[in-house]
């Protein structure tokens, strides 16, 4: 056996070992990175923080839309919350979700049922397909609402005296000492 053949066999065996060992060592797929990748909504942190983080960055609401992320509230049994992407709208009270880490640790589920069971019909409480039962889960989960993919709609112009008003300096203007003081050591 030549050195090249031995090296090729070694590389093949090593690759096979790494392919089987890496997923086990990598941990479990969580709902947050999966929802972020699937929806394009660029929010980080635990699922229970997505709703508040989305404020001002993404449009939010109570109407399901394809590609939106349904943000579940934290509960005693689901302390970090949950996020799932809407993949299809079946009716005004039923949607299909694509999400990770729900029915089994690290598992991905595509196009599974979620039903609005809220009294007001506002998606504030849902039941979701649970794989081991092969049906909707027995628990109803509170939600915050839907975070819509794409950035928040452009807000009306701010009052120039408002604390978050944009600072505009014309190209040919000389900044006043007050503006320079606020900006610190910014070079013009």
Is 174's pLDDT higher than 80?
no
Higher pLDDT, 166 or 35: 35
Is 114's pLDDT higher than 80?
yes
Other CB atoms within 10 Å distance of the CB of residue 26: 9
Confidence class for position 5, pLDDT limits 50, 70, 90: confident
Residues 6+ apart with CB under 8 A from 106: 27, 28, 29, 30, 100
- pLDDT, one tens digit per residue, over 94-110 is 999 999 999 999 999 99
Whether residue 140 contacts residue 117, with contact meaning beta carbons closer than 8 Å, is answered with yes
Is 54's pLDDT higher than 60?
yes
Is 165's pLDDT higher than 50?
no
Cβ-count burial of 21 within 10 angstroms (0-12 exposed, 13-18 middle, 19+ buried)? exposed
**H or E element at residue 31:** helix 31-39
Task: Identify the CA nearest to 109 among candidates 120, 124, 97.
Answer: 97
Whether residue 140 contacts residue 123, with contact meaning beta carbons closer than 8 Å, is answered with no
Task: Identify the CA nearest to 108 among candidates 127, 124, 92, 87.
Answer: 87
Whether residue 59 contacts residue 148, with contact meaning beta carbons closer than 8 Å, is answered with yes
Using only the alpha carbons of the chain, give its radius of gyration.
24
């Amino acid at each position: 056996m030549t050195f090249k053949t031995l090296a090729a066999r070694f590389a093949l065996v090593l690759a096979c070992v790494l392919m089987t060992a890496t997923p086990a060592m990598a941990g479990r797929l969580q709902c947050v990175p999966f929802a972020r990748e699937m929806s394009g909504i660029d929010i980080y942190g635990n699922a229970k923080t997505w709703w508040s983080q989305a404020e001002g960055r993404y449009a939010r609401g109570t109407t399901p839309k394809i590609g939106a992320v349904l943000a579940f509230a934290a509960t005693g049994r689901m302390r970090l919350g949950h996020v799932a992407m809407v993949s299809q709208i079946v009716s005004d009270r039923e949607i299909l979700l694509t999400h990770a880490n729900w029915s089994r640790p690290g598992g991905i589920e595509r196009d599974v049922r979620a039903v609005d069971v809220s009294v007001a019909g506002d998606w504030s409480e849902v039941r979701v397909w649970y794989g081991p039962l092969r049906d909707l889960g027995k628990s109803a989960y509170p939600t915050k609402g839907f975070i819509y993919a794409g950035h928040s709609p452009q807000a009306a112009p701010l009052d120039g005296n408002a604390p978050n008003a944009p600072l505009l300096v014309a190209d040919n203007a000389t900044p006043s000492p007050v503006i320079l003081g606020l900006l610190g050591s910014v070079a013009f």
